A and B are shown apart, each in its own frame.
Chain A
């Protein structure tokens, strides 16, 4: 019996136990920083959060108090504006990629989208600065949102593409047989069938650009006041966290923690919502 050959079995079993323990340890190690970050953000953030944080403008150095009302508004404004540009184009591009997946254009664009998703976001900021800010001769909300939209594009397009491709061809054929045209099918059949996933993908894309800071540094820049139009620079939570964290003042640090709490809450809520959308009832 070969089992007799297996004298090493206790060692083998021990190896299996050790490997399992090592994997559990890896999970523990991976979760330590996550919990530490969330713990500090919650603790320091809650300590610094007050009503005035949501309602007041930042005070100059030396004056205590003040808030980040304009930064909260700025982040929301930037993200909404970016979504308005990035999501429709991204979905249209993604549908095209899925429905005309074999064309050379689709292949080139799919590759470009994958590359674009890997481009460091700071480069997007540099280019938008050179092409928009320099031309307009000042920093602007619009430039910041444009930079964020560029970051959203490949995410939305590729998610739409992948999801639309999971729609079975039998559905497409059924619609074709009823005399519907190809693009109409893309919109009415494919898009609707894949809608929950696409919606979730868009929410994840929004969540991701919510936290993007680097491309805003020289596009939306910062603003101590409310921006009066899209042509003005705007404050944002992300950039405020950066500026305040790098300052030597303790009460600015406290404000940075409060801003981080608000930002993390926004991102986490968007992520959870995306998961919910995915879990929800699926079309038959």
Chain B
């Protein structure tokens, strides 16, 4: 590229140096301005949800977070059912997705047959590409009836001694939302874990193998301990994702602001209540309460994402770790 004369020759001519320098300065300023926009957008988002939430924060105080009742028509506004729903669905989703995602990641870096690794990686990425609303459609029309007719009765029959597996068998509910979330965060956790596992140096793996360890010995006793905190980061990232996902959850969670203790019963989450009620909310306090739920969401995802990035970056040893796949990385796979 450097050899391309068009790229460089203009500035080689010293004649029009002065105007060029000022053009350069304004271009740098433009780049800086663009960068500032990114920062300002984040700031604007934070300030503006907070601003919208002020009436609710002032009026309801801390009671909002622990209030168990949500009845906007009568000004009874408590956010606990949504916090509960979000945390329960996200945690159950993690419990389901993390073991599978870790298995996939280990398959991709260590234990899978090498010729299968690349196609499997591509399919897992495809899993991440399907829009949430399509997962929601599938869950609402295919998965929920399936849960109602088979999985939920089976759960109650075999695990019904636990209250969380007892309840109405209606299909939609916290369990259904958790399962969809699990599918949606699986690729995030898997590809982030893969990055982290891949950062464990080849020399260490070979050192282990040369000592007569099996590949699994090497994974268990060298690779995983080495990558531990990074994998934890990947899990936190998955949690952040689960907390923020809206559409698929809104479509199958059942939309009932209740805390029943059962996974089978309908519930509500922070994102889905905003999606369902924000456009229709008329009272100032209702709008503000929804915005305050937004503030809580913001804080929650912020905390998890920052923690996750720090952990992952530590293992990868680079100064940054993006949650999103950076396309260039595909090419370094050869090693």
- A–B contact via C-beta, under 8 angstroms: yes
4 A-B pairs with least C-beta separation: A211-B131, A26-B103, A120-B244, A92-B34
The reply to whether the CB of A113 lies closer than 8 angstroms to some CB of chain B is yes
Asked if residues A37 and B12 are in contact (CB atoms below 8 Å), the reply is: no
* Closest B residue to A241 using CB positions: B133
CA–CA, A256 and B107, complex, Å? 36
Which A residues contact B (CB, under 8 angstroms)?
12-13, 15-16, 19-20, 22-27, 29-31, 33-34, 36-38, 40-41, 88-90, 92-93, 95-97, 99-100, 105-106, 108-110, 112-127, 129-131, 150, 153-155, 157-159, 162-163, 166, 171, 174-175, 178-184, 186-189, 192-193, 197, 200-201, 204, 207-208, 210-214, 217-218, 221, 238, 241-242, 245-246, 253, 256-257, 260, 263-264, 267-268, 271, 274-275, 278, 283
Chain A to chain B contacts (Cβ below 8 Å), 12 pairs: A13-B214, A16-B215, A30-B104, A36-B142, A90-B38, A93-B34, A118-B304, A122-B297, A123-B294, A189-B1, A192-B7, A245-B136
CA–CA, A19 and B218, complex, Å? 12
CA–CA, A108 and B42, complex, Å? 11
Q: How many A-B residue pairs have CB under 8 A?
A: 339
Q: B96-133 interface mask toward A, CB cutoff 8 Å, 1 = contact, 0 = none?
A: 00011111101100011000000010111111011111
Query: Quick check: which of B25-33, B54-62, B156-164, B226-234 contacts chain A, the rest being far away?
Result: B25-33
CA–CA, A92 and B29, complex, Å? 10
Asked if residues B42 and A30 are in contact (CB atoms below 8 Å), the reply is: no
Main secondary structure of the interface of A (DSSP, over half): helix
Q: B136-162 interface mask toward A, CB cutoff 8 Å, 1 = contact, 0 = none?
A: 111011100000000000000000000
Asked if residues A118 and B323 are in contact (CB atoms below 8 Å), the reply is: yes
Q: A162-B326, A178-B8 are in contact. List 20 more A-B contacts (CB 8 A).
A: A24-B107, A99-B31, A119-B42, A120-B243, A123-B298, A129-B278, A153-B38, A175-B7, A182-B28, A183-B27, A204-B324, A211-B133, A242-B247, A245-B140, A246-B140, A256-B137, A257-B141, A264-B130, A268-B129, A271-B125
Asked if residues A34 and B130 are in contact (CB atoms below 8 Å), the reply is: yes
Asked if residues A158 and B324 are in contact (CB atoms below 8 Å), the reply is: yes
* Closest B residue to A202 using CB positions: B327
Q: Give chain A residues whose Cβ lies under 8 Å from the Cβ of B210.
A: none
